[in-house]
Structure 1
Amino acid sequence: MKYILLFIILFLNHLVFAQTVEKDVFEIYKRQYNSMIKSRGASYSSGFTDLIGGFKTSGLKSNTDFANVLKNLYGDKEKIGVVFFFYNEGILHRTFFKPGQVLEEKAIKISQQKLVELHSDLLMAFQIQAKSASRSPIKRGVAVKNVGSNAKKINLEVLTKEIGSILLPIGFDETVKQLIVIPALNIGTFPFHILKPYKDNSYLIDKCSFTISPGIVDLIVSKTLILRGTMGGEWRDGKYFDQSGGTDRNTYMPPRRKFTLDNPLFISNPAYPKNLEYSFPDLPGATKEIAGAISYAEDYHLLSGNNAKKDSILKYWDKADLIYFATHGIADESNPIENSYLVLSGIDAKLTARDVMNLAAKGKSFPELVILSACQTGLGKSVDVGITGLARSFILGGTKQVIMSLWNVDDEATAFLMERFIFHLQEPNFYLPSEQLRLAILDTKVKYPNPMYWASFSVFGVSY
């Protein structure tokens, strides 16, 4: 996985589409993705060649070809849907796939600013800023504005319907149990949980889990690695063959999986530094949150308060199967690689996106799962092919899935949700870890009905 950058570049360089519209879309997408990768300044080894094989020369020529690749990788019983977003010159292209099928190709005229406004209006409708003010970092020397009384009135039902018409294809229905979203711009930061695509007016999260995939090839690579782990095999002549030589996934259903905490690393409520540009309020809920997770761990390392220093974290990094951060986070839109960070204790108290990428470049092993239970860890800089920030840095390093937050989270509700998430991870199920997160959200929704308390976390990566 740590060589995924090379795979992305090599694969995208071979995307050639016969139809003019599709060719333009994917040629531009290739340039957009390569530009994003280069802007991060990541440096990876060039030794990753085994997965490319015959696949890199297969020459995808249409959306139908991509649908057939999905059919080669996913069985019908897996009940997945893939919605791919591409943005160029004021047009948002939305394509909806099921394995072997292209169900929708839609062009939506919308500005980037309109998408930003819709996201801002949604947070305002939930009163996120007002209700999280006491827990949010405060920039030193900046007066805190009262946003409660002057906030514009927004009809949440009307707003959610408008957002749903942009984010969800018309063909989406209850037959999809796992939705994979390949985002553009800030689409990956919207809470798909709260959309209401069903005739009975229930939420998407009531019937379907979802993941935010970092990109087209990330999806293919991740699923390929899953198949290699369970069935063996390789890419050959544009298809994935298992060890028996078969390619038919119609009857294939992956085994139920669980995630046991064999050797997790917990970082909880550090002694927040006084010399940074922000002041950070204490998070007693983070201590409670980690205490709930620890009860499920076989063996673990806990770093909290003054002990949650960067060098101590790096000492245990390599052997951890899970790293769980319960702390403050800062998302920076202008320079997300250098200025988006998790807050630790000590003199060097920032774990930036750049730090994470440098660890990968130095050969550090990355945990299978990372939980970023901190404010806005799913945010960063909005670019044509999605958001670049902390979560993507862990994926490029080799982490398979990142649990990320979309806004400043409530202490008590988060502690409850995360305890339920760790609980559900212990039980074998499909779509690990997005289905387990969905079940935890449903548990939380009963106790905390307002979506602001349960819709803030999503999975970045591709589930098993």
Structure 2
Amino acid sequence: MTKSWFVYGALLWSILGSAVPQVGCAQVPAAELGAALSAARQRYEQGWSLYRQKAIPAALVEFEQALRQFRELGDLPGQILTLKTLRNLYLDQGESAKGDAYEAQANQLLALRPAERVGPPQALDYFIQSVSLLREASNPYKAGGTTAITAGQLRQETDSLSQSLNQINTAFQVMTQARAAQSNLNIALMAQQAGRLSEALAYMETALAVVEDIRSHILVSESRTAYFATVQGYYELYIDLLMQQHRQQPRSGYDQRALAATERYRARTLLELLAEARVDIRQGISPQLRGRERQLQTELNALEQQHLRQGGLAAEAERQYSTLLQEYQGLKAQIRSTSPNYAALTYPQPLDTAALQTSLADDTLLLVYFLGTKGSHLWAVASRGITAYELPSRALIEQKVEALRRRILDPRERAATTSGEAQDLAAILLKPVADKLGKQRLVVIPDGHLHLLPFGLLPVGPTGEPLLRQHEVTVAPSITVVQHLRAQAAQRRPAGRRLAVVADPVFSVQDDRVRVSEKPPAVLPTALGEAQNRGYRWDRLPFTRQEAQAITALLPADDRKVVTDFTANRTLAVGQELQNYQILHFATHGFVDTERPEQSGLVLSLVDEQGRPLDGYLKLNDLFNLNFNANLVVLSACQTGLGSLVQGEGLVGLTRGFMHAGVPRVVASLWRVDDEATAELMTRFYQKLFREQQRPAVALRLAQMEVAQIPRWQAPYYWAGFALQGEWQ
């Protein structure tokens, strides 16, 4: 069962209330019911997967099948969720009549009185599992149990009645809180429509206080992130209300309150992760918990390896993975709840607007973007003032970003100009603030699909030159996060050596470097084909070796280290050998798993000298358990700057992972980059860094400008994809 389903279940049941089994509900054994519900949910999740791949007809088939199964089982939340999804999908396709029909069916179910709401015998069980994910309490219920609540009667057929009652009490506490937040949100919307903005703000502040309280009890970061994504609308409405007030009372500071709310909303989870990374929460916990954690990690890792080798998991393995992941999340919560160090942990607070301004030098301009459904916002923040601007809707901006990326990445148009699409975006994102750009250093705090945008490419000024020709451009998750990383780096003992380069790993037993007389296929042909279709194909990158040699030649032998071939492996990456280097450079493949962001990572050697398979994937979860001493990581690999876009969190990917490991700045790519052009770009980058003593942001800018002048690499695809994220100083 997926995390998204659990979070959805908790939120939906908090609105619907308890489900009451009625005559006519599916009368099947509990174990069969659980399997049937799991199959229906998998249909729904498959529909979403196909929808994200733009396979709309196939997605519709899956959603319709899921709806039929939910109806047969009498599962009300599943029906409502699927009906709402079908409604949105048809509206997106311009078929409003079909969309309205599904909306009407969903509203009929929502209008049922509690006594008429029909749910499966385990309805409360699934609700409690949902709440358990939010609260991270261990789930005591098994498939054989049957739960029912009717007219104040409770019957739980397990051996742990006291624990069941505690769980149910917790469930209804969260349900009550969620209802309170939703009620305040609804009243705020009505007050906004009536033009009573002060009242609307007051109700939204009450609603957000409830949301924050629920969130504060979620112990595991992945669940906090998932929950936070579901309540983005609360923060969006609050910020919109503040900006409405600003338009009416421009001198009352509402724009600064909106900016502070944006920073708070954006920085919270990553700040908490950074704080937790510095604490050993496992110190003082029981050996049994440690042992079970290691066992679960081993089992999950084996399935993840299978997923990466084959490009997916069979249905039974997928179910096993979901079950293990759920148990692992619950175990992590249990570890935190029993850890003395975790209990004593204090979290840094997001900066207010005055502190934001103080953090900026006079030559630095901060551009903070917030994308909204009805309209978006931009704040230009300098040491001497803050100015707010209104922008178009999220949908329009994201459409423009996708159009530009398509033009850049399409091989048939790679040599063509991108001026049309880039000019459209520049007019939206930069023209409003053009009079403040000057020669300032720009720090961009993006939102949504703006994380995927190469800002340095956008044309500015009367000549329409790319932004990076006139400005140093850095991207940051939030200023508070950068300040926190800066403070951490200042407290560390500097690493003794300058540079470690990891390049040209061995991905396949077919590689000429493997010393075996007979070379069998690395994986079964069918599995290999499926993996390649999903994008998991690791061809050798021959220019990464040249890249490594050219870079390391810039430094004396005792100040650098180059690791290639079989030794460019995961054991090296997670060990202590790289701790004494100021800069870590990885020249290899990167990969993004949008379904499971924790599986995104870098590909290192997958076989040893004899062709035996190795675990060569350095994944996001690995980075969360590391602590590097480097002040810069360069990911000279395919799409290493990407990740899973999570509402309210931005990109959850490798950049965040390295920041979590203590690295204040990361250079990474926004798309699959050309091997040879990247080698040239990186060589020039390090020449600026070492020989000319430039700061990383300046060195990258100068290298990109130079590569853009080489005739065969003038197209933005070759040079515009890399960005420096994090600390700009």
Could you tell me the TM-score, scaled by structure 2's length? 0.47
Map residues 146-225 of structure 1 onto 2, 5 A cutoff.
156-168=418-430, 170-172=432-434, 175-221=438-484
Question: Which residue is 2:721 aligned to?
Answer: 456
Give SS of 2:371's match.
strand
* Match status 1:353 vs 2:617: no
Q: 1:293 aligns with which of 537, 543, 551?
A: 551
Q: Which moved more, 1:388-397 or 1:378-387?
A: 378-387
Counterpart contact for 1:369–1:400, Cα < 8 Å: yes
Of structures 1 and 2, the larger Rg is shown by 2
**CA distance, structure 2, for counterparts of residue 178 and residue 409 of structure 1:** 26
Q: 1:329 aligns with which of 565, 581, 590?
A: 590
Question: Which residue is 2:279 aligned to?
Answer: 45
Compared with structure 1, are the counterparts of its residues 454 and 210 closer, same or farther at alpha carbon in structure 2 (3 Å cutoff)? Answer: same
**CA distance, structure 2, for counterparts of residue 261 and residue 187 of structure 1:** 37
Tell me the alpha carbon deviations over residues 46-97 of structure 1, each in whole angstroms, 9 at most, x when there is no partner.
99xxxx99x969x83xx5x356424xx52x3xx2111012234443221012
The CA deviation at 1:119 is 2.9
Compared with structure 1, are the counterparts of its residues 31 and 207 closer, same or farther at alpha carbon in structure 2 (3 Å cutoff)? Answer: closer
Letter in 1 for 2:480: V
Higher relative contact order (Cα pairs below 8 Å, separated by 6+ residues):
1
Counterpart contact for 1:211–1:461, Cα < 8 Å: yes
* Match status 1:304 vs 2:568: no
Q: 1:269 aligns with which of 496, 504, 509?
A: 504
Tell me the alpha carbon deviations over residues 281-303 of structure 1, each in whole angstroms, 9 at most, x when there is no partner.
11111111111101012333222
Give SS of 2:540's match.
coil
Could you tell me the TM-score, scaled by structure 1's length? 0.72
Letter in 2 for 1:179: L
Question: Which residue is 1:34 aligned to?
Answer: 268
**CA distance, structure 1, for counterparts of residue 482 and residue 616 of structure 2:** 33
Give SS of 2:369's match.
strand
Compared with structure 1, are the counterparts of its residues 167 and 442 closer, same or farther at alpha carbon in structure 2 (3 Å cutoff)? Answer: same
Counterpart contact for 2:667–2:725, Cα < 8 Å: yes
Tell me the alpha carbon deviations over residues 306-351 of structure 1, each in whole angstroms, 9 at most, x when there is no partner.
2211112324221121111111110222322x22110011311110
Q: 1:281 aligns with which of 539, 550, 553?
A: 539
Question: Which residue is 1:398 aligned to?
Answer: 662
The CA deviation at 1:118 is 2.7
Compared with structure 1, are the counterparts of its residues 267 and 228 closer, same or farther at alpha carbon in structure 2 (3 Å cutoff)? Answer: closer
Q: Which runs of 5+ in 2 are unaligned?
A: 1-220, 222-238, 243-251, 281-340, 509-521, 607-613
- Structure with the higher strand share, 1 or 2: 1
Q: Which runs of 5+ in 1 are unaligned?
A: 6-15, 131-147, 230-258
Letter in 2 for 1:267: V
Letter in 1 for 2:554: Y
* Match status 1:69 vs 2:358: yes
* Match status 1:387 vs 2:639: no
**CA distance, structure 2, for counterparts of residue 41 and residue 433 of structure 1:** 26
**CA distance, structure 1, for counterparts of residue 384 and residue 443 of structure 2:** 15
* Match status 1:97 vs 2:97: no
Q: 2:709 aligns with which of 428, 437, 446?
A: 446
* Match status 1:412 vs 2:676: yes
Letter in 2 for 1:280: W
Give SS of 1:414's match.
helix
* Match status 1:119 vs 2:422: no
The CA deviation at 1:416 is 0.9
Counterpart contact for 1:265–1:320, Cα < 8 Å: yes
The CA deviation at 1:208 is 0.9
Compared with structure 1, are the counterparts of its residues 366 and 67 closer, same or farther at alpha carbon in structure 2 (3 Å cutoff)? Answer: closer
Counterpart contact for 2:495–2:582, Cα < 8 Å: no
Give SS of 1:322's match.
strand
Question: Which residue is 2:367 aligned to?
Answer: 83
Letter in 2 for 1:376: Q
Compared with structure 1, are the counterparts of its residues 442 and 31 closer, same or farther at alpha carbon in structure 2 (3 Å cutoff)? Answer: closer
Question: Which residue is 1:246 aligned to?
Answer: none
Q: Which moved more, 1:434-443 or 1:157-166?
A: 157-166
Counterpart contact for 1:81–1:176, Cα < 8 Å: no
**CA distance, structure 1, for counterparts of residue 594 and residue 274 of structure 2:** 14
Question: Which residue is 2:514 aligned to?
Answer: none
Letter in 2 for 1:424: K
Question: Which residue is 2:635 aligned to?
Answer: 372
The CA deviation at 1:34 is 2.8
Counterpart contact for 2:602–2:618, Cα < 8 Å: yes
Counterpart contact for 2:570–2:616, Cα < 8 Å: yes
Map residues 424-443 of structure 1 onto 2, 5 A cutoff.
424-428=688-692, 432-443=695-706
Q: Which moved more, 1:200-209 or 1:81-90?
A: 81-90
Compared with structure 1, are the counterparts of its residues 268 and 110 closer, same or farther at alpha carbon in structure 2 (3 Å cutoff)? Answer: same
Counterpart contact for 2:263–2:478, Cα < 8 Å: no
Letter in 2 for 1:350: Y
**CA distance, structure 1, for counterparts of residue 443 and residue 403 of structure 2:** 25
Give SS of 1:97's match.
strand
Compared with structure 1, are the counterparts of its residues 171 and 89 closer, same or farther at alpha carbon in structure 2 (3 Å cutoff)? Answer: closer
Counterpart contact for 2:404–2:418, Cα < 8 Å: yes
Compared with structure 1, are the counterparts of its residues 270 and 226 closer, same or farther at alpha carbon in structure 2 (3 Å cutoff)? Answer: closer
Letter in 2 for 1:87: L
**CA distance, structure 2, for counterparts of residue 87 and residue 444 of structure 1:** 33
Map residues 307-322 of structure 1 onto 2, 5 A cutoff.
307-313=567-573, 314-322=575-583
Question: Which residue is 1:256 aligned to?
Answer: none
Counterpart contact for 1:402–1:460, Cα < 8 Å: yes
Counterpart contact for 1:325–1:372, Cα < 8 Å: yes
Give SS of 2:708's match.
helix
For these two proteins, the number of residue pairs brought into alignment is 380
Counterpart contact for 1:375–1:408, Cα < 8 Å: yes
The CA deviation at 1:38 is 6.7
Compared with structure 1, are the counterparts of its residues 392 and 261 closer, same or farther at alpha carbon in structure 2 (3 Å cutoff)? Answer: same
**CA distance, structure 2, for counterparts of residue 270 and residue 461 of structure 1:** 28
Counterpart contact for 1:265–1:316, Cα < 8 Å: no
Map residues 207-246 of structure 1 onto 2, 5 A cutoff.
207-221=470-484
**CA distance, structure 1, for counterparts of residue 719 and residue 495 of structure 2:** 23
Letter in 1 for 2:401: H
Between the aligned residues of both structures, percent identity stands at 24
The CA deviation at 1:433 is 0.8
The CA deviation at 1:26 is 3.5
- Structure with the higher helix share, 1 or 2: 2
Q: Which moved more, 1:305-314 or 1:286-295?
A: 305-314
Counterpart contact for 1:29–1:385, Cα < 8 Å: no
The CA deviation at 1:263 is 3.8
Tell me the alpha carbon deviations over residues 133-172 of structure 1, each in whole angstroms, 9 at most, x when there is no partner.
xxxxxxxxxxxxxxx5xx99x9832211111133325333
